[in-house]
Structure 1
């Protein structure tokens, strides 16, 4: 009896020991978790990141080996513009999420592995509920070391239905990302056009601007010399200087307006700032492109093709599927399952067995919250309808405005072009007269400035005319180039853009 009591104390001591050790281990884990501190990026890591990013930026685009045309500038922007790359990556992410959602419809196949070890047997005694007598000998029905495993297949029919609609919503999200990508492409193409033509004007006129500014400074020096030598009426000298300063101010203003265009174009093409490149300088000519569509046809095309309207359509369709998913979530869920089990416990009569089961569960709270959920979805649908109508009105207005702008700039360019041609003849005659002394140097400088201003205005209006022409296609929602951008290299994309734009 004493030996039995001693064994009980020994077993109790072992239990206390294991309990203390477990508490100590848990305390160490908790304390180590609390000891985690934020780690600021080191200077070495920061420098490595900067050098790595700069290297990536240099490798992202093809090197510039020849003068860049409008088509190549657009192709470079479509291939390498980082903002567009974000949109393309978001579309790829949406496609990956759709693929992932498809797996949610499959049944669950779960493998369970479990190992249990004790320092002693899990013995027990029994007491009769009728007589209150206790059995004398403790008994066990489990080994000290037990390994068990199970392979289970379960399928929740309700979850399958909800996952089906979630997958369809993910498919709509892929299409939404596609429309957002189209929107960004149209905007970038228009920005490239604007920056390109302003940069062309800058390259075409910058050398003449510098020459004219040098002549202005030279004339100012001459006026100052005449003032010092008192060779002329002071009022005439001051008037002459005022005119020269006015010319210089206008030149500086022109140079400032055109100076940033090339940097903006380089940013759109993702060319590193400071990289030297030249542009193809086309000859000035009359604008011959036309729009061969009626305003009714343009309105119909815009309402069918604009990415903003198509995006709202997909959002409404996804919202309708959310309604169906909400209805399913109100229903009771039925789960069917099958498991193959194995247990190494030697006391079991059957160490492996197959089990089948079915379970019915019903979240009653979902019925209570259903009216609020449906009210939210109904309001969201009304909001999408209002947004669609508002966007439709804005799209129709943009079609009319873009067409009016194109007509206005077309006429304005013809006027500016004729004015420039007339000014060219005037400056040619003035130069001849200046060589024989019939006109003063001041008059020649003034006409040189007038010619330069006529060229700048002609180029500026031509840039606006090109933008308004492209803006018509943007307002219609027509893509600047068909097909997938990722399937084409730079030269192929440039050639396709040239061919596609030539057909317009």
Structure 2
């Protein structure tokens, strides 16, 4: 009765524990706070402090070194390499060492009877001790296991290359985003003080115009027209100020700067934007050779092919070789230690029926992989053509914006020259300053769009962004290496660009 009570009590306790284990356990508020604090610290850990104005190449260097998406791709590449090291060991023979202890509560033994007369010929006896120690060292090698491990290792090698292509794609996208945001943010840094000052003057002028209208100092229609012009200018300037502020915030996020960090960009000379004079067919060929997406699909085809090779390898005869050393402490054994060897050939005959299906699947898989890669290649070629056209249109738009800026600068000069102490004259000067400032914004925006178009063209061709190693570089060294890499890539792949056709960025 007592053992039964113990069993029942134990069952109830185990059931209660199992019930508690099945209940969901949400994180507590304190755990949320600790996790958020740890994640925030990890976001900005190890960053070099910003000690001065940031150049374009330093912005790219910071974005690539500290961007979390790029860090993730680096980790994925390292993980793929580590997994390949693991799979390479699977091709080695298996060497298994074993040791153990065996025991039983009675003797192992038996008797013997005659086959014909069924008479017992021996009394019961045993040749094995009740308690004994066992040890062994066995080496086995299987041709099938080696073949499967070989193809698996080839797949891991291709996965390393695919991870590297994904890393290159992220780096190219980071460069494109920084190129787009940096020049917009630099324009914001140049224009925001003047925009804010003009907004204050415009508010005051608007109040003065309303006062003049109420007092009858100005013609009502003329006063309303001035107010309308000032309101339009105020609306446009406010919208432009929002765009400029967003550009600075976007650049800070790309560089993974801590919140509320002061961002000062170096007011560097704008690089000239050259026309693309190389043959579009050459650019398309370069893109098909360099684009990470195309290369990744090509490696994927090889991985899929190796999957089918593994399936086919499992159809053929398997050869297994074994050798080992065994030890048994049983004192009744004549030889307590011995070595063994073996050779085994096996074939699953029924699996041979899969061969025709595998051959059909191999053809279909190759056709599917090729079709997917060709479709992607066609999209890449379209991106190159569209990118080239968009870049040339952006250069034309920049020329138009610079001409508009020249005209508005002259109009502002005339407005200042003809200004007097009258309210209407003051309003005309403010309107001219607003138009000039908007033209400056349009010029800065056009230049940043042209830079973004150039970045998309560079990205569509799949050119390299940075040297192979970045973790060991400080920001200054990495920025110099990136600048050299970009210039080398542009020189090698756009060698027919002529400097005399450049857009004068300082006009």
**Residues 61, 270 of structure 1: 8 Å contact kept:** no
Say if 1:196 and 1:365 are closer, same or farther in 2 by CA, change over 3 A.
Answer: farther
Within 5 Å, give how 1:160-309 maps onto structure 2.
160-283=146-269, 287-291=272-276, 293-309=278-294
In structure 1, runs of 5+ residues without a counterpart are 1-16
The two structures have a TM-score, normalised by structure 2, of 0.88
SS of the residue aligned with 1:486? coil
Residue 316 of structure 1 and its aligned partner are, at CA, apart by: 1.8
**Residues 329, 336 of structure 2: 8 Å contact kept:** yes
Residue 399 of structure 1 and its aligned partner are, at CA, apart by: 1.9
Indicate yes or no: 2:307 matched with 1:322.
yes
Indicate yes or no: 2:345 matched with 1:356.
no
For 1:369 and 1:42, the matched residues in 2 are separated by 54
For 2:412 and 2:189, the matched residues in 1 are separated by 21
**Residues 116, 147 of structure 1: 8 Å contact kept:** yes
Counterpart among 429, 432, 435 of residue 444 in structure 1: 429
Residue 142 of structure 1 and its aligned partner are, at CA, apart by: 1.9
Partner of 2:505: none
Q: Which moved more, 1:429-438 or 1:239-248?
A: 429-438
> Cα deviations across residues 354-383 of structure 1 (Å, max 9, x unaligned)?
111122232345323344444444322212
For 2:286 and 2:312, the matched residues in 1 are separated by 37
Partner of 2:391: 406
SS of the residue aligned with 2:92? coil
Partner of 1:43: 29
Counterpart among 82, 92, 95 of residue 106 in structure 1: 92
Q: Which moved more, 1:146-155 or 1:483-492?
A: 483-492
SS of the residue aligned with 1:338? strand
Query: What is the count of residue pairs matched by the alignment?
Result: 485
Counterpart among 381, 395, 404 of residue 396 in structure 1: 381
Cα-Cα RMSD: 2.9
Counterpart among 318, 322, 331 of residue 346 in structure 1: 331
For 2:355 and 2:238, the matched residues in 1 are separated by 68
> Cα deviations across residues 136-175 of structure 1 (Å, max 9, x unaligned)?
9543222221111111000001111121111111111111
Say if 1:373 and 1:260 are closer, same or farther in 2 by CA, change over 3 A.
Answer: farther
> Cα deviations across residues 255-314 of structure 1 (Å, max 9, x unaligned)?
2222211111111111123211211123568x3534453223222212222222222221
Indicate yes or no: 2:44 matched with 1:58.
yes
**Residues 44, 256 of structure 2: 8 Å contact kept:** no
Partner of 1:417: 402
**Residues 430, 439 of structure 1: 8 Å contact kept:** no
**Residues 113, 121 of structure 2: 8 Å contact kept:** yes
Q: Which moved more, 1:84-93 or 1:135-144?
A: 135-144
SS of the residue aligned with 1:356? strand
Partner of 1:67: 53
Residue 104 of structure 1 and its aligned partner are, at CA, apart by: 1.0
Counterpart among 347, 368, 381 of residue 366 in structure 2: 381
Residue 48 of structure 1 and its aligned partner are, at CA, apart by: 2.1
Residue 106 of structure 1 and its aligned partner are, at CA, apart by: 0.5
**Residues 199, 237 of structure 2: 8 Å contact kept:** yes
Counterpart among 139, 159, 168 of residue 153 in structure 1: 139
Residue 438 of structure 1 and its aligned partner are, at CA, apart by: 9.6
Residue 126 of structure 1 and its aligned partner are, at CA, apart by: 4.9
SS of the residue aligned with 1:279? coil
In structure 2, runs of 5+ residues without a counterpart are 491-507
**Residues 467, 482 of structure 2: 8 Å contact kept:** no
For 2:146 and 2:214, the matched residues in 1 are separated by 96
Counterpart among 479, 482, 487 of residue 494 in structure 1: 479
Residue 239 of structure 1 and its aligned partner are, at CA, apart by: 3.2
The two structures have a TM-score, normalised by structure 1, of 0.88
For 1:361 and 1:107, the matched residues in 2 are separated by 18
**Residues 312, 358 of structure 2: 8 Å contact kept:** no
For 1:411 and 1:149, the matched residues in 2 are separated by 83
Residue 218 of structure 1 and its aligned partner are, at CA, apart by: 0.8
Partner of 2:318: 333
**Residues 119, 144 of structure 1: 8 Å contact kept:** yes
Partner of 2:63: 77
